[in-house]
Structure 1
């Protein structure tokens, strides 16, 4: 099954589905067309996801028209970019989390523009960003409310750094936030360089084409008007009630078979292995990961995105609960892909603006098929609350069950009974992995730009080969705004491996009685606590240095004990 959007002389977005994915689309799309689902999304009908979701959906559908409503941002962004360039300010740092950082990272990376994305509380990563050339730096602080602890802490660190360098901080900080938010008020009182208002009727993970996506990318030199033009060129196709609508095809293919009965059944292929096969859309899988996981992973159901490469073990053979989703380049031969589509697979190709909009429509469709509200994230707050509790009343550190080769070992209740080595502990964790439906989540609260990224580069694939099951890899606390929702709200089929470490840098948070090392440790501990309270097994490994991490990587990917 192939569906595309664009003018007669060439597709601007194209989706293909084969095997089980094509059968799922063939079953659901005619019903969606009969119900006028696509046009009702375009009309921002909040009733599409059921009565329980109606209140939330009524204030979360502004993303359907951003290709029009975001255009007033273009001229002020051009003017500010010109001013900054004239002042010799050309290093753009983005302080944001989740939807505030992932889309700008894709937009800038695809255009080849330089954008420093600080979406971490790890002291080493914060120190690296703050220690950059401040004379050339403008900081974009992006948060819907401004109350996000990560973003607020990063803003405080940069304000102090600018002041220490003799630079007026207010002239170097740009804010993106919702109208009337506490951050907007604080920014105006502080006299920050500019404040850009985002559409409040758009949730964070759907905000790629709002000010959250456009402002940092434009200041980094990206032509964001072209991005909006690309989305506008295909928008009408996604709201058309026709079986040729690629958003309906993609959404139905992702959600799987729409079983009859009062309650939807879990999709048979609920692990989406998203792999880039030359699409040209940099980091797109990471953005799609958040959109899919946070939108669908709730009420005990959901779709688990696994961001991998084309050589991922999960793609070797036909794993019954895996749906390969391949991101490919948009060419005249996109729909003629030979033997690669012999089995079950979904392929997606398109312009960046068009592909953003395609996936947003498709995930809204998938949410309706799965019977969930795609616009809330009820379990994201649980880890935040646990972290805040640990910061407010810091308990004594939990003693390690044992230490081996510089790695401290801790685990949820009962997990480490009888374990004397890390190999034992890992074997015990993996023994709880459902061999038919389970997954392993690796959660690394480490510096994703430092040595850890290289050392752990092969761990995801190595664990997938070892277990024969899908494995996700997330950098903390970044993933808390993405797969973190699925871990806690999705089906209880996961086992969890948390990696933490001792930072090499000490970075204070001005005006707070805790530093970044304390903050990231509390976030990791809070995340593990919530998972354990949900009876989801967590193995926690804390490394003292990169040497211990390198040894540990070998243990993780080695043969089972």
Structure 2
């Protein structure tokens, strides 16, 4: 069906799910109750959290005053010769601006890492022309606070007043809000009634994007054009149809392959990945988004749903026994998927607005950080420039090489499981590492996800721990080329990211998940060694 800028075409089990589940959602008045901010839609246990997280349904209207404010601020920076925008933020604070700017064709540097080499590179690039947006909903995100401190010091050392270069986006009353105002920074508050992954059309999405030059007014126009449609209790509501396809198949097709097939929304799958995984992956249930880029070459698996992201003028459904084709301008698509995931949450029976297992990994990281750098366990063995460790079930056996260890991990894959590759390396400089996803998926004939750490901790990290217990985990960490001190902190960025990776692995192991840790003692040599080992394993 095609209506008002969005199109949903479904075949197979996805079409059957729409036919059976949408009438139920319509009978329950789900859409109109959602847009009326009815917090009872997801059950009694979810009510208190949902009551604080539903302002996103009206952002197309309530965010309008931000447009003029951001436009004026951008003009001031442009007049001062400042034409480079760096965003320090994690999760929902960074993923939406990255997609908005890429789709609009405007440059922005997204610094969503505590990896020392990546942070250093961002600080060293055109500092004299740089504006930094520091985004943290809670105001206490350690990665973002660390990035801010490093930039503040760099500005001061260059003879630049940080208050003239840093813009803070946070919830009103947060620790960062108070501190930034007292320091003299420009502060723009976001709507506190919106959770991070639903915040694309709040100040978190609009401020960095608008300062970088994206047309944020048009983005809100696109969302506003479909708001009434999505709020309508009707079987033709595209958001209900997509929600039913995602959460209403029986048995549930819980591996959602996001396939870029001509969409103009650049990198949309990365934004949708966080929305889906963090919203649904809990209570042993959930939907695992798998960002695959091009169409898969293998057959559709019994637990997969293929979602093709297409342009608005593509009228034909793409091949696949069970598939959904989705199109829409970026603002409309963001609201479409937010409503759809909220509807899928109701169908699956989870609260889409909490993220209990994200905090568990943070707590483990804090505990390990307090123990100092000596908290890493001894490796099971060392092969060249790679230290090998296993956590969770004992699966290494007699393995004494990297390739043998990887094979041993792959041997733990359940019948309907998935492999998650989690790389705590420089997301920009080491981008080629992501290429290992395809041969691993081909070898296993199962879904394989790839995430850069700590970025994915605010996304699929919730699903890894709270979702179904059918994952195996390959974690890659590295010794930074050069560590970086955090001004005013007793730990370095290198120590911090080491605690994050170790904390993540320990929580996975506590949940009984098999984890293989490969640590590069020499970054370049170790990285090449791992890539060669994966090539060897997948070729056999």
Instruction: Indicate conservation of the 8 Å contact 2:385/2:529, yes or no.
Output: no
Query: 2: distance between equivalents of 1:391 and 1:336?
Result: 53
After superposition, where does 1:363-378 map in structure 2 within 5 Å?
Answer: 363-378=341-356
Aligned counterpart, 2:470 = 493
Counting only pairs closer than 5 Å after superposition, residues 28-67 of structure 1 correspond to structure 2 as 28-67=21-60
**Correspondent of 1:216 among 208, 218, 222:** 208
The separation in 1 between residues aligned to 2:535 and 2:238, in whole angstroms, is 39
Say if 1:312 and 1:461, in contact at 8 Å, map to a contact too: no
Matched, 1:200 2:200: no
Q: Pick the aligned partner of 1:352 from 317, 330, 335.
A: 330
1:296 and 2:275 aligned: no
1:264-283 aligned at under 5 Å gives the runs 267-283=251-267
Alignment length, in residue pairs? 536
Matches within 5 A, 1:75-224: 75-192=68-185, 194-224=186-216
Deviation at 1:257, TM superposition (A): 2.8
Determine if contact 2:388/2:517 at 8 Å carries over to the other structure: yes
- Aligned residue for 2:316? 336
Alpha-carbon distance in 2 for matches of 1:495, 1:341 = 29
Equivalent in 396, 418, 426 of residue 447 of structure 1: 426
Partner in structure 2 of residue 431 of structure 1: 411
Which residue of structure 2 aligns with residue 416 of structure 1? Answer: 396
Distance verdict in 2 for CA 1:520–1:353, change over 3 Å? same
What TM-score, normalized by structure 1, do the two folds share?
0.94
User: What is the deviation of 1:344?
Assistant: 1.1
Aligned position for 2:238: 246
1:285 corresponds in structure 2 to 269
Partner residue in 2 for 1:549: 527
Output the CA distance in 2 between the equivalents of 1:141 and 1:535. 36
Please state if 1:318 is matched with 2:300. yes
Superposed structure 1 runs of 4+ greater than 6 Å apart:
none
Over residues 38-86 of structure 1, what are the superposed CA-to-partner deviations in whole Å (9 max), with x where a residue is unaligned? 1111111001100010111111000000000001111111111111111
Q: Which residue does the alignment assign to 1:513?
A: 490
1:9 aligned residue: none
- Aligned-partner Cα distance in 1 for 2:397–2:321: 43
Instruction: Report the equivalent of 2:367.
Output: 389
Q: Is the 8 A contact 2:290 2:448 kept in 1?
A: yes
Of the candidates 323, 329, 339, which is equivalent to residue 361 of structure 1? 339
* Counterpart-to-counterpart distance in 1, 2:123 and 2:345: 40
Distance 2:324 2:495 in 1: 43
TM-score, normalisation: structure 2: 0.97
**Root mean square deviation of aligned Cα:** 1.2
Measured in 1, the distance between the counterparts of 2:295 and 2:34 equals 37
Task: Describe the SS at the equivalent of 1:379.
Answer: helix
Per the alignment, in what secondary structure is the counterpart of residue 468 of structure 2? coil
8 A contact 2:97–2:200 mirrored in 1: yes
Corresponding residue for residue 247 of structure 2: 255
Indicate conservation of the 8 Å contact 1:415/1:539, yes or no.
no
Runs of 5+ in structure 2 lacking a partner?
Answer: none
Q: Deviations over 1:223-258 (max 9, x none)?
A: 100000000001111011110000000000011336
Q: How many angstroms does 1:465 deviate by?
A: 0.9
* Residue 552 of structure 1: how far off its partner (Å): 1.2
Q: Which residue of 1 aligns with 2:225?
A: 233
Question: Any conservation in 1 of the 2:423–2:477 contact (CA below 8 Å)?
Answer: yes
The 3 A distance-change label for structure 1 pair 419 and 559 is: closer
For structure 1, which runs of at least 5 residues remain unmatched after alignment?
A: 7-11, 259-266
Shift of 1:409: 0.2
Which residue in the other structure is 1:19 paired with?
12
Q: Distance in 2 between matches of 1:336 and 1:523?
A: 45
Q: What CA distance in whole angstroms lies between the structure 2 residues aligned with 1:506 and 1:285?
A: 32
